[in-house]
Every structure is written in structure tokens, then in C-alpha cells.
Amino acid sequence: MKFVLEVDMGEGAVAGDAVSELGRILRYWGGNVRHYELKPGDGSVIYDSDYGEVGQWHIVADAG
């Protein structure tokens, strides 16, 4: 399986302060993944500090 995190760095608050916003996103989701089974198909939308949608994370089956 793979954990895939995609963040559009040209959108929202991330575009204005990528270092702070990416750090916040990683801290938040690092603590929040415990609420998921982490099986293929699990995932969620990623929001910046202004609550704008800037990406997603998801679990996919390994294609290998």
C-alpha cells in the first residue's frame, strides 16, 4: 500500500507561506491518521489554515 499526500502549493494560504502551511498540514494529518483504518480507498480532503481546499491524501494498493 501507499500513502499519497497531494497539496497544491499555488493555492490558498499555502501559496503565501508554503513552509508554515505545509508544516501545519503535516502535523495535523500526522496526528489525525489514527482515526482511519489506513486501507486502500481511505482518504480525506486537505484544507489550509483559511479552510480552503488545497489537496487530498489517500491510501492506494501497491501496483507492484
H/E stretch holding 43:
strand 43-47
Check pLDDT > 70 for residue 14. Answer: yes
What pTM did the predictor assign?
A: 0.83
| Interatomic CA distance for residues 50 and 64, integer angstroms | 38
Confidence of residue 30 (pLDDT cuts 50, 70, 90): confident
Domain boundaries, position 44: 2-60
Confidence of residue 44 (pLDDT cuts 50, 70, 90): very high
Q: Look at residues 36, 46, 42 and name the one whose alpha carbon lies nearest to residue 59.
A: 42
Q: Give how many domains the chain has, as a whole number.
A: 1
